[in-house]
């Protein structure tokens, strides 16, 4: 006999609002952020070469130096849905659907 999954004794309630995103969508989103960050890094290198000597060159080089770290951290952060609202038990008088 199959266990009754809809029993009121279950303490772990799963709501769709707290379900994680589709894994493939999450990977695509992280990949897109990584490509954008590395593109900005490349533009910083090119900009530093074109600007010439001066403080802007050092700012662009610093950006090109630190952006790979930021890109990897952002690419490795998986999306988590967190919903702080609690489930409220239905008030009396409402009937439940049977299993």
Percentage of residues of the chain with pLDDT beyond 90? 14
pLDDT of residue 58: 93
| Stretches in the chain below the pLDDT threshold 50 | 1-2
pLDDT of residue 56: 92
pLDDT of residue 46: 92
Cα four-point dihedral sign 84, 89, 94, 96: positive
- The span from the CA of 51 to the CA of 65, in Å, is 17
CA-nearest of 44, 30, 41 to 73 is: 30
pLDDT of residue 2: 47
pLDDT of residue 43: 92
Q: pTM for the full model?
A: 0.55
């Amino acid at each position: 006999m199959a266990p009754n999954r809809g029993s009121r004794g279950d303490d772990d309630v799963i709501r769709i609002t707290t379900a994680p995103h589709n894994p493939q969508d999450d990977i695509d989103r992280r990949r897109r952020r990584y490509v954008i960050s590395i593109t900005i890094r490349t533009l910083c290198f090119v900009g530093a070469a074109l600007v010439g000597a001066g403080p802007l060159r050092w700012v662009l080089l610093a950006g090109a130096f630190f952006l790979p770290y930021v890109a990897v951290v952002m690419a490795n952060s998986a999306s988590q849905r967190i919903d702080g609202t609690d489930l409220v038990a239905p008030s009396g008088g409402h009937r439940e659907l049977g299993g």
